[in-house]
Amino acid sequence: MGERRQRFNGDASVLHHRAVRTPLPDADAERLFHENMMAVADGRERKAELLADPDVPLLEAYERELERVAESFERRLRRFAGEDYEEVAMATQRGERDDRVGRLASYYVEGIWRIQQRNTVAEMLFFPLILRYPDSFTINVRFANCYDTTESIRYESPAHLAEDLSADHTETYYAESQYSQRQAARYVRETAEIIREEFPHPDRSEFEERKYGGIVSAGGRRGATFSTMLRRVEPDADRFSELIETPRLVEAGREAKRTEQELLRDGEVLL
């Protein structure tokens, strides 16, 4: 997005309590959705490898994950809004257009912009929710004013420690940091398998097995402390009654509210 990205001014209301619903009308659409979710699982496993490697800076693993998410959003934007997707989003933000494609572009560009802000904002949790239904799937792009959830695994990066430690404490802290990173790597690798189980291949599973699935994940950072979390979410079977033919914005849904209540602490809110 280059220089144009710098001209985009964030608007949290674009994301607030909204999701993108995308239809799954046929086998090809299901296969594409499965491929995208397997790419998410593969990316999580690559992150685990980086976390387990003491020679790889922790921030590199963190930033590569963000880059993969932003790239997936950009691919979606090009698919329905074309190469000038950011101009479409900005025109919508300025009130110059009000249509389905413009609203979708604004949603995803806002998500990309906020993902980039995570590198400079002290505490901002990326908190997405992905749900599969019989004829569609939804993506909630969410951010919260914190760095972890009630179920997050935390791990340390000595390179980002601001305070000076004594020689004895430094050695201990480095050892504990390495241990926390290995534990996080194991957790990230294990939770990648949850993604594979929740979204099975349409050619190798019965429809009854795959028509519902869901995950919520979270990642953030505060100083030298990083966090990660992923777990299953049960979609509400009665959420949608009508079919759709094109992607569109919808209300976030009861699942979104439920995960916020279960995973965010009092005083922590969505941005």
Domain ranges of the chain: 2-263
Asked if 19 contacts 270 with a C-beta cutoff of 8 angstroms, the reply is: no
Q: Which of 41-55, 58-72, 93-107, 187-201 has the lowest mean pLDDT?
A: 58-72
Band (pLDDT 50/70/90 cuts) for residue 3 is very low
- Distance of alpha carbon 204 from alpha carbon 101, whole angstroms: 34
Q: Which of 84-93, 130-139, 250-259 has the lowest mean pLDDT?
A: 84-93
Which sign, positive or negative, has the C-alpha torsion 32, 33, 34, 40? positive
**Shortest CA distance to 13 belongs to which of 96, 109, 110?**
110
pLDDT value for 12:
67
Q: What is the reported pTM?
A: 0.91
pLDDT value for 63:
79
Band (pLDDT 50/70/90 cuts) for residue 15 is confident
Higher pLDDT, 98 or 7: 98
- Distance of alpha carbon 33 from alpha carbon 39, whole angstroms: 10
DSSP H helical segments within 14-93, as ranges? Answer: 27-52, 58-81, 85-93
- Per residue in 188-210, pLDDT (tens digit) is 999 999 999 999 999 999 999 99
Residue 96: exposure state from Cβ atoms within 10 A (0-12, 13-18, ≥19):
exposed
pLDDT value for 7:
52
